[in-house]
């Protein structure tokens, strides 16, 4: 078994215009002061990284790693969640998702998709230049408007949707393969791959591409009433990244999984700061350790009640307390003894 690395912090939700959240050095100094050992970098945040330069220059990447190391931190993964979303967008969401792309691409879905694909390829190359072997992202979605089977879906619609999604991702994943980096999809409502079954459908359409992996985030599974611990039993070989995020699901006589159109504070399913929700992280850390997951445990803070500063402060301690220093010996070794075939034959009465 191997020991999980951490705690680490996804910086996306913390960046802002005021110190210490307004620059790479400031936010790294702040995160290190809270006890974090790693940071996950959102690549759309130009104050943290120039993605194209990172893809094209090993020197730039060495300097970036050096700046972060000066604060006692490592880069855990790069994130292209927003760009990955734009690899596949159903027209119903064109206007809403335009904000994820440069303004010059707004209203031009074809150019926006081409931009997103290039971003993902740069993400693979930048990860390689940084010495990383995993990368986190979203898949995008063509089928999400048809997730609930009413009106009845036309025969072949789902298969066609996954084929198209796979066709768009295969050239990107081939670049990840060339770079020796796993593309880890966060299985998330709003993406065509949002649970185990949909991930399998995507994987089948990709003919099992070896770089199509998972960024495990149990919070999204709580909101779907999915067994997030057994999920690890099914997919541990593909889990290459881990977002430590909490959630709660409190259905009422008025509201259930779908949550209606209420704001986050009024929904039955809500994301919470670590320790404030219902996720059994002791079981998760045990299960991941059992399956030799040895990469990072990364806090993704999202909460509709608690402040991000308190969430980050408490989250570092929470993750550290849940990391299991795996044993290198069996607990009953003291009662054992050396054996050979002859002794074993005697024990068996042979």
pLDDT at 260 over 90: no
pLDDT digits (tens, 9 = 90+) for 63-94: 999 999 999 999 999 999 999 999 999 999 99
- Angstrom distance (rounded) from CA 217 to CA 224: 12
Give the domain CATH number at 302.
3.20.20.150
DSSP secondary structure letters along 306-320: S-HHHHHHHHHHHHH
Q: Which strand (E) or helix (H) includes residue 194?
A: none
Residue 319: domain span: 5-347
Predicted confidence at residue 199, as pLDDT, reads 98
The whole-number average pLDDT for the span 306-327 is 97
pLDDT attached to residue 169: 99
Q: What is the mean pLDDT of residues 291-308?
A: 97
- Name the average pLDDT for the chain: 96
Over 80: is that where the pLDDT of 290 sits?
yes
- What's the pLDDT at 334? 64
Residue with tokens 């409190």: 250
- Determine the pLDDT at residue 84: 98
Q: According to the model, what pLDDT value does residue 146 have?
A: 97
DSSP-assigned letter for residue 257: S
pLDDT at 336 over 80: no
Least Cα distance to 44 among 71, 11, 91 occurs for 11
CA–CA distance, 112 with 197 (Å, rounded to integer): 29
Task: Find the mean pLDDT for residues 29-45.
Answer: 98
Report how many domains make up the chain. 1
How far is it between the farthest Cα atoms of the chain?
81
Q: Which of 177, 17, 207, 176 is nearest to 84 (CA)?
A: 176
pTM value is: 0.95
Q: Which two tokens stand for residue 6?
A: 């951490």
Give the pair of three-digit tokens for residue 312. 């980050």
Cα separations in angstroms, 325 against 176, 274, 311, 322: 31, 20, 24, 9
User: In terms of residues, how long is the chain?
Assistant: 350
* 143-200: pLDDT as tens digits: 999 999 999 999 999 999 999 999 999 999 999 999 999 999 999 999 999 999 999 9
């Amino acid at each position: 078994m191997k020991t999980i690395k951490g705690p680490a912090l996804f910086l996306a939700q913390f960046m802002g215009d005021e110190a210490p959240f307004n620059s790479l050095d400031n936010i790294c100094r702040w995160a290190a002061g809270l006890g974090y050992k790693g940071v996950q970098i959102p690549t759309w945040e130009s104050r943290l990284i120039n993605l194209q330069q990172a893809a094209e220059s090993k020197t730039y990447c060495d300097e970036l790693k050096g700046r972060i190391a000066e604060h006692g931190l490592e880069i855990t993964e790069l994130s292209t969640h927003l760009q990955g979303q734009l690899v596949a967008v159903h027209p119903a969401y064109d206007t809403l998702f335009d904000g994820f792309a440069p303004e010059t691409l707004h209203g031009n879905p074809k150019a926006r998709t081409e931009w997103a694909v290039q971003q993902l390829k740069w993400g693979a190359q930048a990860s390689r230049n940084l010495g990383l072997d995993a990368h986190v992202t979203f898949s995008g979605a063509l089928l999400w408007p048809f997730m609930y089977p009413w009106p009845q879906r036309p025969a072949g619609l789902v298969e066609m949707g996954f084929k198209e999604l796979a066709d768009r991702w295969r050239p990107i994943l081939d670049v990840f393969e060339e770079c020796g980096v796993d593309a880890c999809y966060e299985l998330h409502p709003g993406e065509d791959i949002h649970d185990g079954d949909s991930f399998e459908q995507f994987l089948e359409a990709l003919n099992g591409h070896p770089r199509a992996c998972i960024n495990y985030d149990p919070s999204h599974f709580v909101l779907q009433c999915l067994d997030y611990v057994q999920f690890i039993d099914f997919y541990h070989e593909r889990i290459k990244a881990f977002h430590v995020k909490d959630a709660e699901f409190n259905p009422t006589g008025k509201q259930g999984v779908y949550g209606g159109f209420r704001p986050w504070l009024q929904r039955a399913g809500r994301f919470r700061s670590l320790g404030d929700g219902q996720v059994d992280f002791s079981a998760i850390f045990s299960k991941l350790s059992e399956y030799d997951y040895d990469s990072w445990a990364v806090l993704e803070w999202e909460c509709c009640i608690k402040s991000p500063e308190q969430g980050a402060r408490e989250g570092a301690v929470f993750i550290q307390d849940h990391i299991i220093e795996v044993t290198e010996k069996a607990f009953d070794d003291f009662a054992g003894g050396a054996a050979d075939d002859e002794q074993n034959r005697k024990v068996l009465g042979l």
